Amino acid sequence: METATSDQSLITILDDIKSSKLPAVINYGASWCGVCSQTFPAFQELSSSFKRIKFVYADIDECPETTLHIRYTPTFQFYRDGEKVDEMFGAGEERLHDRLWLLS
Q: How far apart are CA 101 and CA 13, in angstroms?
A: 22
Residue 63 appears among annotated catalytic residues: no
Identity of the residue numbered 68? L
3-state secondary structure of 28: strand
Among candidate residues 26, 36, 46, 60, the one labeled active-site is 36
Residue 33 appears among annotated catalytic residues: yes
Backbone angles phi, psi at 97, to 5 degrees: -60, -45
Among candidate residues 17, 24, 30, 33, the one labeled active-site is 33
CA 57 remoteness from chain centre: 5
Q: Which residues are catalytic?
A: 33, 36
